[in-house]
Amino acid sequence: MDSIKHAATQFILTPEYHDLLSIVKGFRNGLVYGAKIRFPHALVMTLLFRRSNFKDMARFVLKATKQHARNLAFFATIYKTLLIVQRRMHGKERPMDSFLAGLVGGYMVFGENNNVNQQIVLYLFSRIMMGLAKLPVKKNVIAEPTQTFPIFASLVWATVMFLFQNERDVLQPSLQASMQYIYIDSNRWNTLKNFLWHNK
């Protein structure tokens, strides 16, 4: 038994197989991370906003978790594979290799327009916009501005509230549901019970 464990350990640590095993582990880590992130989110959103039987709610949570985990796993596999192929073709990893690998992986895995993909892509979009805003400061192209975040935050909230009140259907369903709960459902009650405890 010890000899089998030793042989397996030696295989995992062998440099020749490192690229292949890094792809396998990327797939595994994508699955695990996707499940860890999506399951509690889907569970909470389902309990808060869905009105159906337990079986349907459980099915929804598991379906969303599976899709999130699967997509991250497949993206990691495609991305890491394309990085390795490009590195072997050119003898080194170039800065644009990650862009090209991400471009192909993003199209293949996240190109379908559905709720899970929208949430993931929009999450990334907001983060990269912040990153791109910081890039000129990092590269010493411009000096770091002061008081930008309060202005940014106020414009974001002003825009989302305007859209929610006047063009609600253009917002994501999950955002609509959250804002409905906070800003509209709080206008309705007829007993102390549904004022303090139950929403309706």
- The amino acid at residue 197 is W
What is this structure's pTM? 0.76
Q: Are 160 and 171 in contact (CB under 8 A)?
A: yes
pLDDT at 103: 98
Q: How far, in whole angstroms, is CA 95 from its chain's centroid?
A: 24
- Per-residue model confidence (pLDDT) at position 186: 83
Q: What is the mean pLDDT of each run of 10 residues along the chain (200 residues)?
A: 64 75 94 94 84 86 94 97 95 94 97 92 93 89 84 92 95 87 84 73
Q: Is 105 exposed, middle or buried (0-12, 13-18, 19+ CB in 10 A)?
A: buried
DSSP string across 137-165: HHTTSSPPPSSHHHHHHHHHHHHHHHHHH
Instruction: Say if residues 68 and 37 touch (Cβ distance below 8 Å).
Output: yes
Q: What is the pLDDT of residue 6?
A: 62
* pLDDT value for 48: 79
